[in-house]
Amino acid sequence: MDWWQAVICFAAGLLCGLLARRQGLRTRIESGLSEARTDGLTGLVNRRGLDAQLADWFAGPESVPAPWVLAMIDIDRFKEVNDTHGHLAGDEVLKWTAKTFQAWFSDAILISRYGGEEFALILPGGLARASESVDALRRRVADQTIDVAVAQVRITFSAGLSQATTSSDTRQLVHETDEALYAAKKAGRNRVYVSVQGKPVPWDAGAPCGVG
């Protein structure tokens, strides 16, 4: 091998090494971003991941898949579970809830642990279909007993839902859904409310006025 061949081989090896290091760095960054958007307890997407997805969809009208619904679901009186049975039991309830949502909403576009005992789901279809599904699960959960490590626990949940439209934006959609959830809590918990024309109304196993 002459001198020029040696130089070329050295340069090629150096370039390959730099490319490999860059690819490794990119992989570590992407892995870190993925972990930063994943809830460590349940394995679901966390609030940061959900917000990023919503922001991406609302970047332009052509980005919004239609139709779909945002649902926010909050475990009622979850603090009592922690206070009575301990935080390990509370963690088991959260993991059970996550798995139940994944099984029940098998066609969900995204299921997220939004924070604490609150979950956010992006469900395909119209508001009536999503509300029926959420309410059916609400009734089912209320009739079940959850076996955790130290006790048997019963829970209920409240939910708020809002239909995404091409005129919606992230802040508006989250606000309307959150208002519906708050109304469900205020009305006594263990119920579903939906946002109709920006106003929260109860979903009583049938479509209220304005929901098709």
In a domain, 211, yes or no: no
135 in the same domain as 109: yes
Residue 89 belongs to some domain of the structure: yes
Rg (CA), the chain: 23
**At residue 211, what are phi and psi to the nearest 5 degrees?**
-110, 125
pTM of structure = 0.81
Q: Which two tokens stand for residue 62?
A: 């052509």
Same domain, 24 and 62: no
pLDDT mean over 176-195: 98
User: Residue 169 has what pLDDT?
Assistant: 84
Do both 118 and 187 map to the same domain? yes
- Domains in the chain, number: 2
Domain interval for residue 192: 45-203
What is the set of active-site residues?
A: 117
What is residue 49's predicted lDDT score, i.e. its pLDDT? 93
* Angle, alpha carbons 47-183-97 (nearest 5°): 45
Q: Are residues 61 and 130 in the same domain?
A: yes
The mean-pLDDT minimum among 28-37, 40-49, 126-135 falls in 28-37
The pLDDT score that the predictor gives to residue 20 is 46
Q: What is the pLDDT of residue 58?
A: 79
Residues 56 and 128 in one domain: yes
Asked whether residue 108 is domain-assigned, the answer is yes
Same domain, 19 and 52: no
Please count the other Cβ atoms lying within 10 Å of the Cβ belonging to residue 173.
Answer: 20
Predicted pLDDT of residue 115 = 95
